[in-house]
Amino acid sequence: MAYRSLREAVDDLEKNGRLLRIREEVDPNLEMAEIHRQVYDRGGPAILYERVKGSPFQAVSNLYGTNERTAFIFRHTLERVKRVIELKKDPANLLKRPGRYLSAPFTALSALPKKSLLGAPVTWGQTTIDQLPLVKSWPLDGGGFVTLPQVYTEDPETPGVMHSNLGMYRIQLSGNDYVPNEEIGMHYQLHRGIGVHHEKYNRRQEPFHCSIFVGGLPSHAFSAIMPLPEGLSELTFAGMLAGRRFRYLRREGHVLSSDADFVITGEILKNVKKPEGPFGDHLGYYSLAHDFPVMRVHKVYHRKDPLWHFTVVGRPPQEDSSFGWLIHELVAPLTPQEFPGLKELHAVDAAGVHPLLLAIGHERYMPFRERRPEEILTIANRILGTGQTSLAKFLFIAASDDNPQLDTHDITHFFQHVLERVDWMRDLHFQTRTTIDTLDYSGSGWNEGSKVVIACRGEQRRKLRAELPDGFRLPAGFSDPQFCQPGILAVQAPAYQTVQEALQHVEALGDTLKGLDMQHIPLVVLVDDSRFTAATLNNFLWATFTRANPSHDVHGVGAFVENKHWGCTGPLMIDARKKPHHAPELLVDPDVQRRVAGLLERYL
């Protein structure tokens, strides 16, 4: 049975023992976010906050906190949507297995948005921005934010819901220089559909109307982050996954989601920007304050007994990791269509998604000669030239014919496979002075950094081991070598101060390693804390790939340049130390942490 509201979904979770009610008053300033984090870390239930300090509205979070609960929420529709996607991949499936696809036409019908003709629940009442739960998640955040917004805009050249864009762009509700109740911040990044609309409105006279939906059916928030082809409305996918057509109405030039819990309407001001941020984001660091567009608030609508739906982001994994899991569940069959020759693609959540991609591709170019990377390089270029995947920094791609059972989601084995075969003299391919994720401060400027493709194919070259070679020693200032896994060595290096000094450190380490037998250790990582880095796979992935800019921080023993191609004869070295230009790491307020731990003792 399809949910008709977020409240129905929450009641369903409670009925099935998947909801925690916090009955005492909680503070949206740091406390609610810390409750969420501690419950999430325990694999706990969704959370209903009955009394929010300073707000008349209840709130809910951790709805998608586990993959299992996410599947439960969409249990009535997920398989049906998968079948529609299967038909998109290969329409001939309908003839091969007609019984499997009997529900497909009815699922497709739910994709058509429906206009509400007799009013809508969301128009029950109106409020102001300062009455909303202004959730502040991290101590240095610039104010309260909407963390699960559904931002709706239309194309001025082809208006209408079928040509609209629904995206999840960060919204700052309070703080900084925003006029209270009148202005809010709109943060969006590269390769976002709203940017196309914004550019068109800047060339026209009419106002750039925008609506921000919060809450509504659980499928609506997910649809706002679903990677759909440009020009295809997210509202259609929201309807299919909900099993209920997306309902909407128009009020005073704005589109309202009929089933949303809240809708903020307004106008994105043209050629007006104000500082937005800082904000503790999903790479595990703050995104700093930068100038972003401003939205002038028109009205704030809400339904009767609404729920403010929010999440907390930070160093992964967090609740939004379940979004990545669900996207993979749905779009995996379409990957070969989007990227011809690609078998698998995995944006590694523990590394912050965009910093690290793992891929497997087919090699069909020259099957009659020595195996070396050829088609997988073409595939890698396609990946780095397409949408959100173009923001990747490190792309490791292997050939399927070397190991048909290789799996990008078995990360330890994937790295083992690559490092056993990689040729650092041949297999490194850099792109410099290019775009990276807006939230990634490891580069040479805002949105500016580099990329490297590590493409390997061929027979096993070495056997990886987790033991130091005879005569191993470290230069002055280096200490505590620790293996993250066989073949990957983390070395504690002196603190990074200046570029010149850092290069001297790298040179000193390289000179020391040059005289040793390092064949079985092809990757060395310079870090601030080697025991932390090697303690878990997630620590290695996060510290290494969020803190390194390939063009500046990838070095090698026996490095050379030949016809503008860079390589090395010995181990590759990645400088993953914290740099002075990096954004601050996210740290919890210890007093809030202790207070929340005491509160949860009474509930869990």
Q: What is the DSSP string of 533-568?
A: HHH-HHHHHHHHHHS--HHHHEEETTEEEETTEEEE
State how far the Cα of 351 lies from the Cα of 536, in Å rounded to an integer.
Answer: 13
pLDDT band at 221 (very low <50, low <70, confident <90, very high): very high
Residue 435: predicted pLDDT: 85
Dihedral (CA of 455, 456, 462, 466) sign: positive
CA nearest neighbour of 246 among 114, 123, 152, 118: 114
| Residue 228 confidence (pLDDT) above 80 | no
State how far the Cα of 257 lies from the Cα of 479, in Å rounded to an integer.
Answer: 58
State how far the Cα of 147 lies from the Cα of 32, in Å rounded to an integer.
Answer: 13
DSSP string, 253-319: TEEEETT-SEEEEEEEEEEEEEEE--EE-TTSBEEPPEEEEEEEEEEEEE-SS-EEE-----SSSST
Q: What are phi and psi of 236, to 5 degrees?
A: -65, -45
What are 136's strand-pairing partners? 29
| Residue 105 confidence (pLDDT) above 70 | no
**Lowest-confidence pick of 91-100, 189-198, 348-357:** 91-100
Dihedral (CA of 94, 97, 98, 100) sign: negative
pLDDT band at 366 (very low <50, low <70, confident <90, very high): confident
> Taking a C-beta distance cutoff of 8 angstroms, is the pair 223, 244 a contact?
no
pLDDT band at 183 (very low <50, low <70, confident <90, very high): very high
Residue 70: predicted pLDDT: 96
Residue 82: predicted pLDDT: 78
Quickly count: other Cβ atoms within 10 Å of residue 502's Cβ. 21
Residue 501: predicted pLDDT: 97
Residue 199: predicted pLDDT: 83
Residues in the chain: 604
**Lowest-confidence pick of 71-85, 199-213, 412-426:** 71-85
The 10s digit of each residue's pLDDT in 501-515 is 999 999 999 999 998
Spell out the domain ranges in the chain.
6-309, 338-456, 479-575
pLDDT band at 436 (very low <50, low <70, confident <90, very high): confident
The 10s digit of each residue's pLDDT in 67-88 is 999 999 999 988 888 777 766 6
Q: What 3-state class would DSSP assign to 587?
A: coil
Residue 2: predicted pLDDT: 84
> Taking a C-beta distance cutoff of 8 angstroms, is the pair 260, 123 a contact?
no
Virtual torsion, Cα 546, 551, 552, 556, nearest 10 deg = 100
> Taking a C-beta distance cutoff of 8 angstroms, is the pair 275, 177 a contact?
yes
| Composition of the chain by helix, strand, coil, percent to 5 | 30, 25, 40
Residue 392: predicted pLDDT: 92
Residue 328: predicted pLDDT: 83
| Residue 1 confidence (pLDDT) above 80 | no
Tokens of residue 11, six digits: 């009641």
| Residue 430 confidence (pLDDT) above 80 | yes
Average pLDDT over residues 444-455: 90
CA nearest neighbour of 274 among 257, 294, 260: 294
Q: Which letter does DSSP use for residue 437 in this model?
A: -
Average pLDDT over residues 548-575: 97
State how far the Cα of 502 lies from the Cα of 136, in Å rounded to an integer.
Answer: 36
**Lowest-confidence pick of 141-145, 279-283, 331-335, 409-413:** 331-335
Residue 394: predicted pLDDT: 98
Quickly count: other Cβ atoms within 10 Å of residue 200's Cβ. 14
Q: What 3-state class would DSSP assign to 568?
A: strand
The 10s digit of each residue's pLDDT in 151-162 is 999 988 988 998
Q: Where are any strands of DSSP class E within 493-530?
A: 523-527
| Residue 348 confidence (pLDDT) above 60 | yes
Average pLDDT over residues 221-237: 79
Share of the chain above pLDDT 70, in %: 94
**Lowest-confidence pick of 42-51, 90-99, 263-272, 394-403:** 90-99
Return the ∠ at Cα 348 (arms to 345 and 353), rounded to 5°.
105
CATH superfamily of 338-456: UbiD C-terminal domain-like (3.40.1670.10)
Per CATH, the number for 6-309 is: 2.30.110.10
State how far the Cα of 167 lies from the Cα of 308, in Å rounded to an integer.
Answer: 18
Average pLDDT over residues 583-596: 97
Average pLDDT over residues 38-64: 98
Quickly count: other Cβ atoms within 10 Å of residue 519's Cβ. 15
Residue 337: predicted pLDDT: 66
Residue 176: predicted pLDDT: 97
State how far the Cα of 531 lies from the Cα of 483, in Å rounded to an integer.
Answer: 9
Residue type for 39, please?
V
Residue 230: predicted pLDDT: 54
CA nearest neighbour of 50 among 7, 3, 4: 7
pLDDT band at 192 (very low <50, low <70, confident <90, very high): low
Q: How far is CA 32 from CA 82, 122, 239, 263, 298, in A?
A: 35, 25, 31, 22, 28
State how far the Cα of 379 lies from the Cα of 373, in Å rounded to an integer.
Answer: 11
DSSP string, 30-92: THHHHHHHHHHHTT--EEEEEEETT-SSEEEE-TT-SHHHHHHHTTTTHHHHHHHHHHHH-TT
State how far the Cα of 236 lies from the Cα of 228, in Å rounded to an integer.
Answer: 10
